[in-house]
Structure 1
């Protein structure tokens, strides 16, 4: 009995220390902060297998947004059904009681680290953050890396508890088209916003009334997230304040998820439309309209 009591106390102490390392309002951490967080967290790396193999943080597990999403077609950006999704998340070692740190390549990537952070937060994990600047920032901070394949994690016990405030549906987007209070933000490249379809959308253009803000405009040349005051200036130009509901979208909810993560960190009210243009553009034009430079 005494041994069991001591074990429970140690577990509670460990859990409280771990959670203290990543606050519920912290969606990204600096490389300096990562020195404290990485040893006590589950570490996920979203880069390609080749990039991961050339150098990764020891003990990290390579993941991709695709393994948690529907396989193909118009719903490719949507998350898996809950039972399959929960199992996929447990398989990479995620548990509710252990913080998660996500590493990407801010310069070369598509915001995949933000997608994983947004996904886990939307599914109820409250202690998840991405590393500002990604793997390159960690290397500049003299973190050691290891070549080779991904670690084999112990399965986690993650349980889904959806936070609906972080997820937008196509019905929410339709309502936002008619309600000036909610602002739609298109996080794709300018050519996509204007009507080009380089990434497989059925139709080109943007949701009527949407504002354009390419997600990498919130980074500097090194892939580091801009200071709060600079981001607030960009958002203010779009009519967005911390009290403005924002729905972000892109092609498949990846780049938009990264932007949502940054906005949430800075206390903005943002949600992600995971289906995004792959879904919206596949639906009937009469009910799911798009505007482009041509119309």
Structure 2
């Protein structure tokens, strides 16, 4: 009887120990789940590159922290708001001037005409940049918003081709406003300068004729929206579709939620998913070379050296019935 009682006691103790073990495991899992939550939040916070870019170390982007330090004391700084005039008047970064990408482009005729929307010739570009107040010593910072068309990239692309020291503001007006930085409604205008464009570089641009010759040797990236790629003619294009063998990667796929550009590692991942390597010859295009200019600079910043923007873009390609279109 004494032995049986001992056995019963042993069984009860064993069951209690097993039960406490399960409770302990459940508790550990619950605590683990609780402590993992901040890690998720921490990860989401890191989906920004707002502090990664400074003027000293980058040729394509500048941080808002650099702008804050230079906005008043840097006499060579020219800040360009590339948004619409309407948005500019609602509020902008203090001291910025409103410049439309069209003011630096050949706009005679209509969309689709030969060279419509492409960069101005040297003399006309010199005049346009002088009116903005650009000098040989200017350090130009251009901004727009994430939800726009990449106009900041297009203007920087134009300025760099003209030999001007120009960069985009990483995060643009979206980040500036969300960080509660000063916003002004005062209309600014710089003094007219005597700036002369000595040379327009062509290494980051490709013409229609050049593209026809090289189309089989390049990786074509269509930076438009998917519906445009598949045939929608939302902006008066002569025909719907895309260029042969073009890969559709919308330009805003390279943005973070806060309007900053994605990290180089994330951009490389996007490109690899589309079988595009850093050693490839890359040509970007959109409707009029705006979104594609922005992506071209973002790719160069991420280490894709051989990137050219087709600034005549789909408008000109589609207007010529001899050019192949795919749907």
Same topology, TM > 0.5: yes
Give the distance between the partners of 1:96 and 1:194, measured in 2 at CA: 44
Q: Which residue does 1:281 correspond to in 2?
A: 318
Following superposition, the deviation at residue 92 of structure 1 comes to 0.3
Higher relative CO (Cα under 8 Å, sequence separation at least 6) belongs to: 1
Q: In the alignment, what sits opposite 1:11?
A: none
Q: CA deviation at 1:240?
A: 2.0
Structure 1 residue aligned with 2:202, among 160, 164, 186? Answer: 164
Report the alpha carbon displacement of residue 156 of structure 1 after superposing the two structures with TM.
Answer: 5.1
- Give the 5 Å matches for 1:38-53: 38-39=71-72, 40=74, 41-53=77-89
CA drift of 1:23 comes to 4.9
Structure 1 residue ranges without an equivalent (≥5): 1-20
On the 8 A contact 2:222/2:229 being kept in 1, the answer is yes
Aligned equivalents of 1:57, 1:198: Cα separation in 2: 32
Give the CA deviation at 1:25: 4.6
Contact 2:251 2:292 in 1 (8 A): yes
Q: Do the aligned partners of 1:91 and 1:155 also contact (CA within 8 Å) in 2? A: yes
The CA RMSD measured in Å over matched residues stands at 1.8
* Inter-CA distance 25–152: structure 2 relative to 1 (3 Å threshold): closer
1:228 aligns with 2:258: no
Distance across 2 between alignment mates of 1:199 and 1:47 = 19
Deviation per residue, 1:224-246 (Å, 9 max, x gap): 21111111001112222222221
Q: Does 1:117 align with 2:156?
A: yes
Structure number with bigger Rg: 2
1:244 to 2:277 alignment: no
TM-score (norm 2): 0.77
Q: Normalized against structure 1, the TM-score is what?
A: 0.84
Aligned to 2:30: none
Q: Between Structure 1 and Structure 2, how many residues are aligned?
A: 266
Match of residue 65, structure 2, among 18, 29, 32:
32
Instruction: Please state if 1:263 is matched with 2:299.
Output: yes
Structure 2 CA distance for partners of 1:224 and 1:24, relative to 1, 3 Å: closer
Q: Which moved more, 1:254-263 or 1:81-90?
A: 81-90
Which residue of structure 2 aligns with residue 76 of structure 1? 116
Q: Secondary structure at the match of 2:319?
A: coil
Please give the secondary structure, in 2, of the residue aligned with 1:35.
helix
The CA deviation at 1:172 is 2.6
Structure 2 equivalent of residue 210 of structure 1: 246
Does structure 2 retain, via aligned residues, the 8 Å contact 1:31–1:141? no
**Residue 260 of structure 2 aligns to a residue in which SS?**
coil
Tell me: CA distance 1:199–1:37, structure 2 relative to 1, closer, same or farther (3 Å): farther
What are the ranges of 5 or more consecutive residues in structure 2 without an aligned counterpart? 1-53
SS in 2 for 1:192: helix
The CA distance in 1 between the partners of 2:277 and 2:56, in whole Å, is: 23
